[in-house]
Structure 1
């Protein structure tokens, strides 16, 4: 199995499981699972290159591959940018906020409260969908479509739109890109 295939297979499972369990006290569990995954990836490298030393394997597959992180033991493919296995310990714990027992979604005086609460939920749901630099674009627009001002939902088709079109001199840089719902793109 190729390194990129290992990364593609593991990342959705790691992120999905981590996002599901990020509302509880799970840091120790996340660290423990990171160690377990590291051991399995180390074993995979040794099986793939049985005649090579651990030093050679670690230099080939492990390093400081995640930009902005000071972690030197990240598994990935050094020949590709952003091709690395994410770690559960990178997922922040976000406590679940209980709804006060007197608050009802049907109460017209609490519309702002429910909008704020729902926006927080949508942002978390959408954040799990984006990775690396893609998250930078979505975060800059607060995980909302700039045309319809609705959340960038988890199941909807999205279009990466150039604010200044390429034929008018626009470039493929973060400050010139936004996400739009496919239906909102004209």
Structure 2
């Protein structure tokens, strides 16, 4: 597979090395991180994030999950924590 084909397969969630849950989320999100609006690349580290954190009653369902770049997930998690801390 060419590099272009590999990137396309990864973004579509059809690359065989992508875990199933991540692949489904990548396909649903059209290969875009909802936090920074940038496309994922095969080199990116991806985190599965709960849109509504489980600590706030969020469910572990696909409707409440999103794939984020690791650095985007770190920022979101930090902001979620700071929001909780100020309440």
Normalising by the smaller structure, the TM-score range is 0.5 to 0.7
**Which of 66, 70, 74 pairs up with 1:182?**
70
TM-score (structure 1 length as normaliser): 0.33
Whole-Å separation in 2 of the counterparts to 1:177 and 1:144: 14
Q: Which position in structure 2 is the counterpart of 1:135?
A: 23
- Tell me how far 1:125 sits from its aligned partner: 3.3
Structure 1 regions of 5+ residues with no counterpart?
A: 1-19, 22-117
- Look at both structures and tell me which one has the larger radius of gyration over its CA atoms: 1
Structure 2 regions of 5+ residues with no counterpart?
A: 76-87
TM-score (structure 2 length as normaliser): 0.65
**Aligned pairs (5 A) from 1:28-43:** none
Higher relative contact order, structure no. (Cα contacts within 8 Å, ≥ 6 residues apart) = 2
Aligned length: 70
Whole-Å separation in 1 of the counterparts to 2:6 and 2:18: 15
Q: Which position in structure 2 is the counterpart of 1:125?
A: 10
Q: Alpha carbon RMSD of aligned pairs, Å?
A: 2.4
